[in-house]
Structure 1
Amino acid sequence: MDDILHLICPNSSFIWDGERFSDCFEDIVLGFGVNIVTVVMVVVLGFSHKIDRRSDGQMNFPEKIVMDFIPAFGACLSIVDIFFLWKKEHSSHIVGYHKWFYSCSELMVWVNIIFFTKRGGSHHIVFNRVLCFWWIPKAILAVLYLMTKISSFKVSICITESLVVLLNISFGIAINVIRIKRPSYKNSFLEDPLLSNGVDLEEGGYQDLENDGNFWDLMTFNFITPVMNHGVVKQLDSDDLLPLPTDMDPSSCHDVISSCWQAQLSNNGSNPSLFRALCSAYGWPYLRLGLLKVINDSIGFAGPLLLNKLIQFLQQGSVNWDGYLLALSLGLTSIIKSFLDTQYTFHLSKLKLKLRSSIMTLIYEKCLRVNLAERSKFTNGEIQTFMSVDADRTVNLCNSFHDMWSLPLQIGVALYLLYTQVKFAFVSGLAITILLIPVNKWIAQLIASATEQMMKEKDERIRKTGELLTYIRTLKMYGWELLFSSWLMDTRSLEVKHLATRKYLDAWCVFFWATTPTLFSLFTFGLYALMGHQLDAAMVFTCLALFNTLISPLNSFPWVINGLIDAIISSRRLSRFLTCPEDKVKVGNKSSCPPSFLSEQPDSVQGLGVFIQDACCTWSSSEEQALNMVLNRVTLSVSQGSFVAVIGEVGSGKSSLLYSILGEMQLVHGSIYSNESIAYVPQVPWILSGTVRDNILFGKSYDPERYTDTLKACALDVDVSLMIGGDMAYIGEKGVNLSGGQRARLALARALYHDSAVVMLDDVLSAVDVQVAQSILYNAILGPLMQRKTRLLCTHNIQAISSADKIVVMDKGHIKWIGNSDDFPVNSCTQFSPSNEIDSALQNHGQSCSPNLSSKSKEQSLLGTSIVRALEGAEEIVEVELRKEGKVEIGVYKNYAVFTGWFMTVIICLSAILMQASRNGNDLWLSYWVDTTTESSQTRYSVSFYLAILCLFCIINSFFTLVRAFSFAFGGLQAATKVHNKLLNKLMNAPVQFFDQTPGGRILNRLSSDLYTIDDSLPFILNILLANFVGLLGITIILCYVQVFFLLLLLPFWYIYSRLQFFYRSTSRELRRLDSVSRSPIYSSFTETLDGSSTIRAFKSEDFFFTKFTEHITLYQKTSYTEIVASLWLSLRLQQLGAFIISFIAVMAVVGSRGSLPINFGRIGPLICSSNCVLIGEFFVKLH
């Protein structure tokens, strides 16, 4: 091994040569290593298919000459350099292999660039975004390489090496300048054409930006600037948002996860896992991000190490230029880390959006496919929680998984570096770490248990809330508001009980998080001093910097465990729902549930529209409850084109008979066949939120002639003509602005328009008066549009029964009698029908059976109360969800303080301020300890005195931290309880008109997702906000006190900071509000689909509704994506502002070390350790 190193480095050591890196190390690492990486990147990217054919056409002639000349000249210089090396070898000069490695690798770089440039027929390779990025650090490393040669005073350096370095710099500048100038992508999506084919925006906008755009804009997130400019001057809307990348489109995400989930069902039939499906779909891109995280975490340790070198340099009083290099390196590493950190967060956030879209679409698709019998295992509230809460918790697995290995790795590296500083004194800190691991694990288990119980109670509360909203009219008519409020609040009390358990456990986590740094410093420095060692500035503040590095891993670990446990619980809940059996053949085909449901028409039932043989059906899928059959030994055959009337007492099984044909029930025995084309009108008509036309078309294309005939046949033409907007009048959720008769006729019109082979109508005539019933019976059900259809009508209408080809009498789940109307006496219907209906029908029977009503009677019927109802509700009854403009009003904060309680608010604020003051005092006391134990100091105290004061600061800090943590938990619970009670009180006292104008999904969103924010997220965010605010204030005071020259920087820094936060907050507020508004349609659509899933399956409209749902998801994803980019835009700029402050403080310290300025070396450490104030300010701006 030594012989090999001697061949490579004959004239120097391999790494270190006196006070600097050796020539060998510089040539191998800064030269050869960088060049080899460049060659690999050029080769890989050169053989890829990402070729920009427009590059030549977008460069002028001088630019082409530059791009051709620089690589050629660089290759020539490299050849000349190799020639001189060869000449030295033959002149008895010893030239190490490291020189040959460097020169040959430099030649390989230029040759590969020339080759791939000419191979592509354009300059696409040099403009690749990855290579453009790489040329920037390559040029910086080339400068460092040249500086090390100059600093070693080796004037004999070959002139060709200097020229090659300058070529690297000029080439990196040239390609980035030309790339910025060339319009290879649309600078703004606002410049897109007004008419688009639907994909130009994505492909021409974001695709060019992602694969071939300006790399500088990608790295700095400048492509969000047009959106932020608009956010400052106007209220943003959906058209101002960034377009989604193609691979983030909900349909694309659904295709990916759906194929992976189907593979799980096939390969792991009894135990499929959503987690494994997500890993299969997105595991490899997610794992690739782990490499970026390793690099980012590694650079995080460069700061403490450089700080140690800088303080040692200052203490030595050296006058060379190494101090400035160290000072600037501190800032440079912070800048590099800011780029890596924001890029990691950006790509991780994109992946999380894909996962969220995938899970949401998978849940929605499952709701469309699973029948009512299987879905009865879950309440609607539980299914809504799957969408609103469990989906997000499963997505949070992305954060937790990488942190599970990254945080222990960071802890291990930090502890090792601590060992290098304080030797075995770090064992005390290690003991704290080991002690916290089982404590955090135990707390995490308790939190997981409390969370699971809380989610159960939350599911129950949402279920009850949904029922309350469904029957709100009945509730208000009977004056049961207080009764049902207490009914709902009992469930809420149980939920808050488990929430309180979680919050108080979280408070202990906050306590450990905040007190760990001070305890670390107390035990480590105390043990180090008691071992007889003297504290010095370099060691103390390097350790403090390492402590700060340890804060996040140590205290984030329990949160990571909590998030991981929550994600696992939620993924299991989702897997349980997604594994519900569903129809093997798509709903709407000839069979609904093979093998009992016939998939093909048997020879024995030729000419039949519906055939049921010895069928036993139940609503339960469990074997025990399946013994209680709803339909028992039912046999029925219906000829194609016939009209069958199904009659029977209430609860006799009429509706269940229709559901069994649709495949919504569990078929225990027998077989059922129906034609593949079915239209269905349920007993309670399901009305879609939308226009009249939307409800009738139901996803089918518009046929004007059939549409007009349908309106006339269903007696809707007069109603529609009187509505404001005609058939484009908007109908509210569940048809709230229509009468019961209008809803029934609208649902009938939908079935009539769809021209299905089998039409099943469940008591459609009972919702209208006798004359209208007679009209739609003869014009619609028996009219020309349904004349050749197979019709099954559950009814008590005597005229319909008399007109039926076949009559089926149901009794307790059995078919009691089957025959035709001639054999069935009309008077026997009295046992099934209300007396007033029978009396009216008998009066008209025989004398008004004509299918043509007189125009006068028809007009009188239609212009009754239902028309008045239509006129009142035909306008846009559903109010558009409004959002506030401008900054958040101070009254919002005041109201939350009132809910928390003014006394608790004061306690929380005071404890946070005193906690931060004691922590800053702890750092300043350490600085004082270091200053007074130096050889030049005349003031000295015993070690016990220093430790006693340090221990006092730790006790004070721990006490106020504990008060802050538990007061915040108690105050948050108080606010959560009062907000829910006030919201419920407002809801129960709201007029019925409010429920007519507000979709139920929007109300449920307030009582589920938004209330969860009040319960859990808001207290957590406010806790961090307050801690960061007092931290920013404390650090600023220390910086101004210790380094007076920071006052010169304070004013311009504060101006830049305020401008950035103003620019960001103006847009961020609008995006947050858009996010909340765009979320409501998702839950409204989802709730609506749950109510009408059987109707959707009957009409085979799953694809239509799935497409509508993905449109809602797309808007939500676009809002979230834009919000993420805006957040990273701010984060990058503030982190770089912090890097500038670090460099300023360090440079001023170096200047002071030369005697130009008064400097206290013991206080330089806390200055740089505390200069993360910009990062704290970043959190403050975002959380505010």
Structure 2
Amino acid sequence: MMELQDLSTKSENSSSSSLPYFSLSTNEKSVISKIFFLWIKPILALGSKSVINIEDTLPLPDEESAIKENLTKTLEKYKLSKAIFIAHKGLIFKTILLYLSITSFEFGYPIFIKLFISYIESGAESLLYGVLLSLCFTTIVLLTQILIGQFHWHCKLLELRVKNAISSVVYNKILKVSSISEGLGINLLQVDIRKIYDCIPKISIILLCPLNATYAIILVSNQVGDAVYAAIVTLFLCISLNYIVALKIKKYSENLMTIRDKRIEASTQMLSNIKMIKAYCWENYFKGAIKKIRNSELSFLRFLNILSSTVDFFYFSIPSLTSGSVFLYYTFIMGKTITAGEAFVTLITLNILQDSLQWLPYFVSDLLICFVSIKRMQTFLDEPDIKELAYSDSATLNNCSFSIGDTKILKNISLQINKKEFIAITGPVGCGKSALLNSLMNEMSLSSGSATTFKSLAFVSSLDSWLQNESIRNNILFGLPYKEEWYKIVIEACALVQDINSLPDKDLTEIGGKGINLSGGQKARICLARAVYADKDVYLLDDPLSSVDTDVASHIIDECLLGILSKKTKVLATHRLDILNKVDRVVILENGTIKEITTPEKLIITDYVAQNYESKLEDIANAQNKLVAEEEREMGRVNLAVYNDYLKYSGGYSMLGLASVCIVLWASTRVLGDVMLKEWAMHPDDIDHTYLFLFLGLRFGGSLFIYIRTLFLLVIQGIRASKNIHKAIINSFSRAPVNLFYDVTPLGRILNRISKDLNTIDESISRLICTVATETCLQLSKVILTLIYFPMTILIIPPLLYFANQIKNKFLNVATDLVRLEATSISPVLNHFKETSSGVKIIRTFNRKQNFQQKNYQLLDNSTRVQYSLGACRCWLQTNLGFLSAFITCTVTLLIIIFRTNISPGIVGLVLTYALSLPGGVTYLVQVLADTENNSISVERATEYMNLPKENAYIKPIDEKIKEWPVRPTIEFRDVQMKYRQNTPIVLKKTSFCIDAGHRIGLVGRTGSGKSSIFLCLLRLVELTSGSILIDGVNIAQIGLKKLRSALTLVPQDPLVFSGTLQSNLDPTGAKSEIEIYRALEEVGLSRFPIDFEVKQDGTNLSSGERQLISLGRAMLSHNKIILFDEATAGIDNESDAKIQDLIKNKFVGCTILTIAHRIGTIMNNNLIIVMNDGKVQEIDSPQNLLLTNSLFKNIRDAIK
């Protein structure tokens, strides 16, 4: 046995997770500590000194862990909406009780104001009575603020539990269904879940609105009698109109979510296949497709923002309309004169009712949107689970038909596979070989017949090699314990020893998601090693030898299939004819049915034996240990440049300026309206009621200004920013180099930016800016007016501003880091979901569902731990700002008592009204400022991806001068050196050779020898370190990438197939006629498919061979003079391959063809053979001359015989 030289002995957990450990024990906190959130002091102290990392966050109690979710059991009896309520009813009732207590205390405010006004009106003789009144009032305010902090904390706990529960349920469902659209899955996890858990805590507010309205009506009735009915009618009309608007919002939200799924799906297709898209110069096509979807999405978002502006109008109009209707009824219908006490108590009561009802329009809208998300979630959860077949020691299919959806794939299959039997399945492309293996794995629906299958299974597919973003060792262990001796035996049998020894950190070298920087053969062998290490009873092998070279294939057959797996049951789907004489039986498929079951002795094998030789578009031989870069995050507070960037993308300061004018006018009308109310109450002799009408006119006019403000900021500026930021990100993605960005960045991290972050920019940033501007102006106007009428309040302004600023800064020092940390903690969750959804077949077959569920719980807990800490900090902020509310109330009331002889009842009512609303307004403003800064991190993260490194110029002036280039497709490499990234070793070393026009070149060599790197250099997917490449005498570094790549055609082993019609897959740009497309389909053997045949995402409704034939069809349509074949017929049977070789010979006359040899027989008639070794050209000559000497190529050819 070959030894693993210097195999790393570093300890590595066999688990696929390397998450930071943290205790999930419940924190014991005193009552005082819980009430005032003193238990978060350690993280607040740390935040003022250093950057907060995951290990610094607050420990997560057991009950908040994702593994504790109890929604799964509840869903067995109830639908999702009811199940959420039942599973979390205890916490929901707590939030309802807390909110009920808050509103009960708040409705005491107008009573105390009435007592103060009466105290002043009566002469205010008793100082003690006034002080006691002030202390009682302050106590009520303090208790209210403490309850508000506890309410928000319990809402946060409810959010976290609902989020974890639904996330876990969705993830677990993914492990049970056959497939899920990536766009839908990501939006379910990123957008829909957020809309649900954001809305659940608001239910308590919605449920208690009727009770609050009843309280308010009773209080108003005590002041103005029957005039309260005018308020009731007005409220009913406003809420009814708002409900109509909310239904419209629900409808457009459904459309928005659907179109958002399509955008994420289209973006995922582009980002997943960016290497091939660049090679084909299809960036503009995919950008155009995404842009078209995005424009539709923004159209729905624009209309939703218009509806939101209408909701804003109702919100700001309700107090004016209700108070106006009450005052008009009281004055004109009842014919009474109102006093200052009655006017301000009525106004304050209606303001409190407004505080209760102000968010009702939004909450109802959110609730309806939440129902949309629940409906989408329920639809997914209602998808049927894969039905498992009966298990047995042998597999028996009796007249079985299997289907995907409504399409029958296999028909009338009768087959028995016995224990320890070695069966080969063969047949032409698309005959159903892979489908038959899938049926044995419970991955297809049994339409008719009866079947049993094996329980202890392992599956390997070389053409769909699924690997994780883990080390090579962890990919092989796949959650099992590390057994060194068995591990070494497996590595040797799967021919991985040399590959591992060539890596800097051996088998602990980390590989990227989907096995980036691994060759096709390496990926296939790691997948095979994963299956062998699992030591299962049965092995289902889908052409695992198609992408390895001949000597490696022979080694695997002898040492693995006929060696350590000799006593196992094996079912092998293959095109290799030479292995058929080593099996017990051969099953020949044709058109989804079994044509024949025979033995090797009875099978006539043709002389056409074209053997495999290995490679793929990238080599890993010299790759560095850690390929995947850590996600960057900024440190400290958000830079002002981020806000400037947002305003730049939103069109500048013009809209913000116009909106600011509207906001100033609104705030002015708001406070002047209150002044008019005071004057009206102080002038009962005003027969014309001029002040009353001025009050109503100013208040209603202010609502119109708010409507215009919202249109400016949300409908115009917000949409413009969303459009431009998305456009900039997609443009940046299309120009980013594969080796410098995509090879080191997990797809889940990228998707996080264009889903969660972009959703925040779409729906939150402009509204937060709108709210900050509005609240700032309103609170300033209140302060100014209060100072005008009661100058002594200036005494409280300096300490108020000082402490508010101190509290805000202490909070933001921690919160900014936590928000960034929250964003980065979500990326691993998405990446894990992406890995799971693409590898669910392997996970189920290897019975690793529990392992992946456990990792999902760990990742969710990691993210939840950050959100838990952030929620606690926000509630600390709320509680501490609540102390300022109590301080203001106490100070203002005491000042009124001290200067009671110099102040009128009307001014007392006005000052106390503002004194009560100012603390809440300042608290809300501080929170919104914090939220704005925290949400702006999404802009910061988006901006980071707008400034990715760029490839060299796509178009250059020289391109116009060489329109017909290349005339003669000659290729010359001059001392070419190349490495993937700055800190990686050189993979092509002084490589030089010349290729004449029209010659056919075969590239051979072991893994890591540099064959694939030659293709990368020709396409300039990786730029040269030194040297030059000339095509038709032109240095390719001097021309634009579009001109270069358009002149070359790559036919890869892993073809690019995307959702759309067959015609769009062959010719996305629409440059070819239908006749040309039909001809190409006929030539590659796909004429049975109509050109409008709908191809599913990644071509899941096509066989691997059919997907490769589509790629060959593209080459037929390109009419380019240089063709690069990279194992282009790996998944095609020998007969089809022979036809393709004839087609290439006849259709590419005069073309220069480079072939990384898949079957050595296909390159024996080539003009030249280039044998690569260690990044250098070891041999270059005609195959005939090489066979005359003791060359490496001769040794390879001889190994076939």
Question: Shorter-normalised TM-score: what interval?
Answer: 0.7 to 0.9
Q: 1:1180 to 1:670 in 2, by over 3 A?
A: closer
The aligned amino acid for 2:467 is: I
Q: CA deviation at 1:438?
A: 1.4
Q: CA deviation at 1:744?
A: 0.8
The aligned amino acid for 1:1005 is: N
- Residue 380 of structure 2 aligns with which residue? 577
Contact 1:518/1:922 (<8 A) preserved? no
Is 1:229 aligned to residue 45 of structure 2?
Answer: yes
- What secondary structure is seen at the aligned counterpart in 2 of 1:652? coil
- Residue 208 of structure 1 aligns with which residue? 28
Is 1:1083 aligned to residue 856 of structure 2?
Answer: no
- Residue 304 of structure 1 aligns with which residue? 110
- Residue 261 of structure 1 aligns with which residue? 75
- Residue 422 of structure 1 aligns with which residue? 224
- Residue 258 of structure 2 aligns with which residue? 456
The aligned amino acid for 2:733 is: L
Match of 2:308 among 506, 515, 522: 506
Q: Deviations over 1:529-554 (max 9, x none)?
A: 33443333222221221122122233
Q: Deviations over 1:656-684 (max 9, x none)?
A: 00000000100012223233211101231
In the TM superposition, 1:351-500 aligns within 5 A as 351-370=158-177, 372=178, 375=179, 378-500=180-302
- For residues 539 and 24 of structure 2, the distance between their equivalents in structure 1, rounded to whole angstroms, comes to 43
Q: 1:673 to 1:1168 in 2, by over 3 A?
A: same
- What secondary structure is seen at the aligned counterpart in 2 of 1:629? strand
Q: CA deviation at 1:335?
A: 0.6
- What secondary structure is seen at the aligned counterpart in 1 of 2:540? strand
Match of 1:1175 among 923, 927, 933: 923
Q: CA deviation at 1:770?
A: 2.0
The aligned amino acid for 1:988 is: S
- For residues 285 and 903 of structure 2, the distance between their equivalents in structure 1, rounded to whole angstroms, comes to 79
Contact 1:529/1:943 (<8 A) preserved? no
TM-score by length of 2: 0.73
Contact 1:688/1:734 (<8 A) preserved? yes
**Larger gyration radius, structure 1 or structure 2:** 1
In the TM superposition, 1:1010-1049 aligns within 5 A as 1010-1049=757-796
Which structure has greater helix proportion?
1
Moved more, 547-556 or 242-251: 547-556
Amino-acid identity (%): 27
- What secondary structure is seen at the aligned counterpart in 1 of 2:447? strand
- Residue 329 of structure 1 aligns with which residue? 136
- What secondary structure is seen at the aligned counterpart in 1 of 2:359? helix
Contact 1:900/1:975 (<8 A) preserved? yes
Q: 1:941 to 1:277 in 2, by over 3 A?
A: closer
The aligned amino acid for 2:196 is: T
Is 1:546 aligned to residue 366 of structure 2?
Answer: no
The aligned amino acid for 2:158 is: L
- Residue 657 of structure 2 aligns with which residue? 906
Contact 1:1025/1:1179 (<8 A) preserved? no
Contact 1:1131/1:1178 (<8 A) preserved? no
Once superposed, what is the RMSD of the aligned Cα atoms?
A: 2.3
Contact 2:669/2:702 (<8 A) preserved? yes
Match of 1:1116 among 858, 863, 879: 863
- For residues 775 and 420 of structure 1, the distance between their equivalents in structure 2, rounded to whole angstroms, comes to 94
Contact 1:723/1:729 (<8 A) preserved? yes
Q: CA deviation at 1:1154?
A: 4.9
- What secondary structure is seen at the aligned counterpart in 2 of 1:767? coil
Is 1:1070 aligned to residue 873 of structure 2?
Answer: no
- For residues 285 and 210 of structure 2, the distance between their equivalents in structure 1, rounded to whole angstroms, comes to 53
Contact 2:94/2:154 (<8 A) preserved? no
- For residues 339 and 688 of structure 2, the distance between their equivalents in structure 1, rounded to whole angstroms, comes to 14
Q: CA deviation at 1:1156?
A: 11
Is 1:239 aligned to residue 55 of structure 2?
Answer: yes
Q: CA deviation at 1:318?
A: 2.8
- Residue 919 of structure 1 aligns with which residue? 670
- Residue 637 of structure 1 aligns with which residue? 416
Is 1:978 aligned to residue 718 of structure 2?
Answer: no
Match of 2:890 among 1135, 1143, 1146: 1143
- Residue 895 of structure 1 aligns with which residue? 645
- What secondary structure is seen at the aligned counterpart in 1 of 2:600? coil
Q: Deviations over 1:1009-1067 (max 9, x none)?
A: 22111111222333222222222222222233332222222212211111111100110
Which structure has greater strand proportion?
2
Q: CA deviation at 1:200?
A: 9.4
Q: CA deviation at 1:1155?
A: 6.1
In the TM superposition, 1:549-568 aligns within 5 A as 549-568=352-371
- What secondary structure is seen at the aligned counterpart in 1 of 2:606? helix
In the TM superposition, 1:668-679 aligns within 5 A as 668-679=447-458
Is 1:954 aligned to residue 699 of structure 2?
Answer: yes
- For residues 351 and 1119 of structure 1, the distance between their equivalents in structure 2, rounded to whole angstroms, comes to 15
- For residues 1157 and 385 of structure 1, the distance between their equivalents in structure 2, rounded to whole angstroms, comes to 59
Match of 1:1008 among 751, 755, 762: 755
- For residues 915 and 1113 of structure 1, the distance between their equivalents in structure 2, rounded to whole angstroms, comes to 44
In the TM superposition, 1:58-137 aligns within 5 A as none
Q: CA deviation at 1:201?
A: 3.8
Q: 1:554 to 1:289 in 2, by over 3 A?
A: closer
Moved more, 730-739 or 640-649: 640-649
Q: Deviations over 1:551-578 (max 9, x none)?
A: 2233322222222222222222222222
Q: 1:1020 to 1:542 in 2, by over 3 A?
A: same
Contact 1:631/1:813 (<8 A) preserved? yes
Q: 1:454 to 1:1162 in 2, by over 3 A?
A: closer
Q: CA deviation at 1:237?
A: 0.8
- Residue 65 of structure 1 aligns with which residue? none
Q: 1:347 to 1:951 in 2, by over 3 A?
A: closer
The aligned amino acid for 1:990 is: A
Q: CA deviation at 1:907?
A: 1.2
- For residues 176 and 611 of structure 2, the distance between their equivalents in structure 1, rounded to whole angstroms, comes to 43
Contact 1:541/1:1169 (<8 A) preserved? no
Q: Which runs of 5+ in 2 are unaligned?
A: 1-19, 933-1201
Is 1:991 aligned to residue 750 of structure 2?
Answer: no
- For residues 1050 and 476 of structure 1, the distance between their equivalents in structure 2, rounded to whole angstroms, comes to 61
- For residues 314 and 738 of structure 2, the distance between their equivalents in structure 1, rounded to whole angstroms, comes to 50
- For residues 955 and 1100 of structure 1, the distance between their equivalents in structure 2, rounded to whole angstroms, comes to 66
Is 1:945 aligned to residue 730 of structure 2?
Answer: no
- For residues 21 and 285 of structure 2, the distance between their equivalents in structure 1, rounded to whole angstroms, comes to 54
- For residues 455 and 704 of structure 1, the distance between their equivalents in structure 2, rounded to whole angstroms, comes to 50
The aligned amino acid for 2:631 is: E
Q: 1:496 to 1:638 in 2, by over 3 A?
A: same
Q: CA deviation at 1:925?
A: 2.2
- What secondary structure is seen at the aligned counterpart in 2 of 1:484? helix
Q: CA deviation at 1:1104?
A: 0.7
- What secondary structure is seen at the aligned counterpart in 1 of 2:398? strand
Q: CA deviation at 1:956?
A: 3.1
- What secondary structure is seen at the aligned counterpart in 2 of 1:974? helix
Match of 1:617 among 398, 402, 423: 402
In the TM superposition, 1:11-22 aligns within 5 A as none
The count of residues paired between Structure 1 and Structure 2 equals 907
- Residue 531 of structure 2 aligns with which residue? 751
Q: CA deviation at 1:412?
A: 2.1
Q: 1:659 to 1:540 in 2, by over 3 A?
A: same
- For residues 431 and 1086 of structure 1, the distance between their equivalents in structure 2, rounded to whole angstroms, comes to 51
Q: Which runs of 5+ in 1 are unaligned?
A: 1-197, 265-271, 584-591, 602-607, 831-837, 842-860, 934-939
Contact 1:1152/1:1158 (<8 A) preserved? no
Q: 1:200 to 1:871 in 2, by over 3 A?
A: closer
Is 1:793 aligned to residue 578 of structure 2?
Answer: no
- What secondary structure is seen at the aligned counterpart in 2 of 1:881? coil
